[in-house]
Amino acid sequence: MKQTGYLSWAIKNTKTVWWHDSAEPGELERGIQRGAVGATTNPFLSHLALSRNKEIWAQEIDCVLSENLEPETKAERLMGIAITHAAKQLEPEYEKSGGAMGYVCAQVNPARAGDRDSMLPMARRFSKWAPNIAVKLPATAAGLDVLEDCTAEGITCTLTISYTVPQVIAIAERYRQGIQRAKQQRRQPGKCFAVIMIGRLDDYLRDVAHDCRADISESDICQAGLAVSKRAYSIYKQRGYEAKIIVAALRGTYHMTELTGAEIIMSIAPPYQEMLLSEELPREERIDAEIGSDVIERLSTLTEFVRAYEPDGMKPEEFITYGVTQKTLAQFYEGGWKLLENFE
């Protein structure tokens, strides 16, 4: 059973499910065969899929390029090619699950993370690409406003650029408000997936610790995102939140094995799928295994960890200024959306 390994065991024996982290058709097909029930994408991954399938999708691409569109509209339309192809691949899962799974994420322009007036119309357009689109919004104050509006309109959303307990709590609370508005209007609310970019948080706190010359080991840093994810999951269970947590941006198999048993979604890129298939890993539920109090104490000497770990560590207006947020937005724009704007 080595080649079906841990990933197969987790699917069959725990409550954890997983989504494929790529929009490239061949990779996504392998992910689906391995048990993926959804796909997370971003502008970088959409551009990558488009570049690798330029000849296969030539007619659709040429149609967009021939229209002499404004750069942002051009990027949106090109991204739509990759996303709709992925949505078609996941359509059987969407239908089989009655709309519970089978979604593919379509991310709004990262440069618009604080612009409500741009993000809401964009979300409405994306949602019409296919029935199984989950519009990807940033977990900023503006993104939360758009989430509530989208939920009330029946649009499913994934909230990303999110690393912290206060962010996923805010997502769940605003989603509840959207559900209430949908019910008042006698509409079926959209679904909501709340991302924790676990590895990006670890990366950020590692830089902070080095800069501050903090007495924090690499082992401590590697448990920071896990501590945040476990605390967020515990709060979700206690409060009965309707939103579903997605843990993304893994940096090792431990990011999955230490959360096994949680009713969450793991977003897994192809390289980590290979590791989870081939490595001999512990096959046990670890979600209830607490992070050591001594680890939390050392990490808490970093203000940026406290802001991420404590439920009241930040207000929504502070989310867009949290250190790693701007870095990720810049990467998604410069390494993805801008390349789509200049695609030839």
Residue with tokens 């843990």: 247
Rounded mean pLDDT of the chain?
96
In this prediction the pTM is 0.96
Whether 241 is in a domain gets the answer: yes
In this predicted structure, what is the pLDDT of residue 280? 83
pLDDT digit string (tens) for 193-224? 999 999 999 999 999 999 999 999 999 999 99
Does the pLDDT at position 2 exceed 70?
Answer: no
Looking at the chain, the whole-number percentage of residues with pLDDT higher than 70 is 99
Please report the pLDDT score of residue 278 as a whole number: 78
Is 200 part of any domain? yes
Instruction: Examine residue 163 and state whether it is found in any structural domain, yes or no.
Output: yes
**Residue ranges making up the domain that contains 261:** 5-334
248 has pLDDT over 90 = yes
CATH of the domain at 231: 3.20.20.70
Q: How far is CA 214 from CA 33, 65, 203, 323, in A?
A: 44, 51, 15, 17
Distance from chain centroid for Cα 315: 21
**pLDDT given at position 4:** 60
**Domain-embedded: residue 341:** no
Least confident of 177-186, 222-231, 271-280, 319-328: 271-280
* Number of domains observed in the structure of the chain: 1
Is 60 part of a structural domain of the chain?
yes
Which pLDDT band holds residue 5 (cuts at 50, 70, 90)? confident
In a domain, 343, yes or no: no
pLDDT of 105-115, one tens digit each? 999 999 999 99
29-39 residue pLDDT tens: 999 999 999 99
List the one residue out of 186, 197, 135 whose CA is nearest residue 163: 197
Confidence at 3, pLDDT banded by 50, 70, 90: very low
pLDDT tens sequence across 274-300: 999 877 898 899 999 999 999 999 999
Supply the DSSP string of 111-173, one letter for each residue: GGTT-HHHHHHHHHHHHTS-TTEEEEEESSHHHHHHHHHHHHHT--EEEES--SHHHHHHHHH
Q: Report if residue 344 sits inside a domain.
A: no
**Residue 138 backbone phi and psi in degrees, to 5:** -80, 145
Question: What's the confidence (pLDDT) of residue 1?
Answer: 34
**Residue 195: how many CB atoms within 10 A of its CB?**
26
